[in-house]
Structure 1
């Protein structure tokens, strides 16, 4: 294992969730790679979404909580440019071997990635109100 791979694995931290011999390849990748990366990058995702809102949804802070949750979901699902930027923030923290595994099943892993990211941002929707003036 090269220095970058060792650094990334130590930097990201341990597996989040259980991985057993019955775990599918996707589930293992999710718990060993995606969850730790999403946790590590959380502050960057929050800052990125605040920037997205500032540029694209000026009235976001006046929305009801339900409407804010819809905006979060739609931003990630339908704004391809924003979605790709978020994917880049995640993929950048893969090792070369993890990336090789990712490209073999990128469609399903992208769905998992974005679903987890949407839920992560939705669960922190209250942070967007307190960061309104950033």
Structure 2
């Protein structure tokens, strides 16, 4: 199983809807496959144009490191040198904060990651989790 475009669209629509329902600022959502490649992206009206790179950086770190943004942030706090080295290895493309959510299937296999940006990092993660759940998948924030 892979995420695929239809699941990616479901994730994005549900994440944006969750953000709007919760009164969050305009969100941007990207879905990456297990190789870190974008499957789909959408930016809500009013979201700043630079949000794609932020959303992708959050999701990219999750899929490449096999851990959600919260775990990455904790790792960065405990070992900033490690995260700096990781970011160097990945060309500066990792943003280790909540809002990057690993996507797993029912068997725990990594299918990719979702990156959400636009509100607080914790709110971004909650919107991502709502989108992932709407697609019948499991998120690891």
TM-score class, shorter-chain normalisation, is 0.3 to 0.5
Greater share of helix = 1
Query: Highest Rg: 1 or 2?
Result: 1
